[in-house]
Amino acid sequence: MKKRETYGIEIAGLHRELELFEVKPGLRIAILNILGDTPLVEACATALAEKLIGLDFDVLVTAEAKSIPIAHALSVATGKPYVVLRKFYKLYMGDALQSETFSITTGEQQTLFLDEKDRALIKSKKVVIIDDVISTGSTLQGMHFILDKAGASVVAEAAILTEGEQAKWSNIISLGHIPIFVD
């Protein structure tokens, strides 16, 4: 197996080498995959929790799946509950809200669903959107759409990293930034 080129970065005091993957011809991105990286997840949750001190919010909201560990660890660190917007509808989700987004990592349209039970949890609440990496903003748009329909108020957006055009993400609470790689 051929070794991939990597991009080295310090995140919350830990060094990681992020592998570069081509997402379309001539465009590569550095992939942060926190699934199973408990030391990184815990360090990032602690660092993000510090950045959220003083922010008045009730619930953390994330999209399935790679950002679930950071949402869980941040929930533990802040004492606030979290909600996961799912990518597939299941019958037990009842009267779920939905929104379409485009994922840069899959290169496809995807749908986000807010479970009926979670609608009640976030109605009239102040929420913080949390993600692992914010790249194009499509997932953020979809999350905002659902949260607005559910009657929640987004008070902040946070991520471990932002990616791409750094100035575009100046309002995001994050621990760092990674570039995109154009060949």
> What are the DSSP calls for 54-66, one per residue?
T---SEEEEETTT
Q: Tell me whether strands 108-114 and 97-103 are parallel, antiparallel or unpaired.
A: antiparallel
* Average confidence (pLDDT) over 95-120: 78
Calculate the average pLDDT of the chain: 91
Q: At what angle do helices 68-78 and 38-52 cross, to 10 degrees?
A: 50
- Evaluate whether 132 touches 155 at the Cβ level (below 8 Å): no
Give percent above pLDDT 90 in the chain. Answer: 70
pLDDT band, very low/low/confident/very high, at 106 (cuts 50, 70, 90): low
pLDDT band, very low/low/confident/very high, at 107 (cuts 50, 70, 90): low
pTM listed for this prediction:
0.90
CATH of domain 34-177: 3.40.50.2020
pLDDT in tens, 34-84: 999 999 999 999 999 999 999 999 999 999 889 999 999 999 999 999 999
- Evaluate whether 113 touches 88 at the Cβ level (below 8 Å): yes
pLDDT at 29: 93
pLDDT at 104: 54
Domain boundaries, the chain: 34-177
